Structure 1
Amino acid sequence: MLPIVDNVRHELGVKKLEQMGTNAKNCIMKDLVNISPDMARYAVESTCGDIYSRPGLTHKNREMIAIAALTTLGFALPQLKIHIEAALESGCTRNEIEEIIIQMSVYIGWPAAFNAMGAANEVFENYFS
């Protein structure tokens, strides 16, 4: 169980995390909490409770931006998979996700784009099966 410091931020963060799908929730609420309860709390309260809960962008838009950013990083494939699933959960289509990765290939190079597309395909296979 996460050590809760701010109930409002925590509850808002958990709600946003649940919108992202089972893998995102499990990654933070089960896996990360066992490694570092404080980091899990920060992820829920700060990332999900503060940033993902801000007005101005839809959840779908936020996930599309996250996919672009994580694709660009090139080394965050586990997190990219989580956000691809979250994008699908928020109404993003497979085609939209593929187009985001293709668009990023212009800026990041083919190897990183190939890796991102491979990660996306793994999520698609699991999500659509």
Structure 2
Amino acid sequence: MTQQNCNADDSRLERGRRALAEIDGEAGEKVVAALADIAPDFATYLLEFPFGDIYCRPGLDLRAREIATIAALTALGNAAPQLKVHIAAGLNVGLTRDEITEIIMQMAVYAGFPAALNGLFAAKEVFAPQSAAESGA
């Protein structure tokens, strides 16, 4: 993430909005918008803490943060919607499909085959539009 997106002088909410846009793009905005009518305060918490605070910390670049996030969500085994968003974010910050597939496969060792299978099927869904575009379909 660029240093300007994590300016310590900005509010947590401002930093979070910029970080979310850079990492997740339109998918992240859809999550926040979907919360507007049921839990707008939760949308604010989502922007401030994970994106305004954690993603803006020094020490790991966005690529490394998305590797960790994809691995954790795969290991949970019950977070397919969030995993799909972060697989797309991983692609957005420079991970390849092969790297994402390997991250998910690695989780079979620690989280079990069911969790890895669920993760691979989530990745397949995220990769499908890109694969179709590459094949000219």
1:124 paired with 2:112, answer no
**What's 1:74 paired with?**
77
One-letter amino acid of the counterpart of residue 34, structure 1: D
Structure 1 counterpart of 2:98, from 95, 100, 103: 95
Q: 2:46 aligns with which of 43, 46, 64?
A: 43
* Residue-pair matches, total: 122
Deviations 1:19-69 (A, max 9, x none): 1221122112x1022220010000001110001111110011101100000
- Tell which structure's C-alpha radius of gyration is larger: 2
Match of 1:34, SS state, is coil
Q: Which residue of 1 aligns with 2:113?
A: 110
1:21 and 2:28 aligned: no
CA contact (8 A) 2:73 2:82 kept: yes
The 2-side partners of 1:75 and 1:33 are apart by 24
Cα distance in structure 2, aligned partners of 1:35 and 1:70: 24
Match of 2:3 in 1: none
For residues 42 and 123 of structure 1, do their structure 2 counterparts lie closer, same or farther at Cα, with a shift above 3 Å needed? same
User: Post-superposition shift, 1:109?
Assistant: 1.1
With structure 2 as the length reference, what TM-score do the two structures score? Answer: 0.85
TM-score, normalised to structure 1's length? 0.90
SS of corresponding position for 2:27: helix
Distance 1:114 1:10 in 2: 35
Which runs of 4 or more aligned residues in structure 1 lie more than 4 Å from their structure 2 counterparts after TM superposition?
none
Gaps of 5+ in 2: 1-9
C-alpha contact 1:21 1:85 (8 A) present in aligned 2: no
Bigger relative contact order (CA 8 A; separation at least 6): 1
State the AA in 2 paired with 1:32.
Answer: L
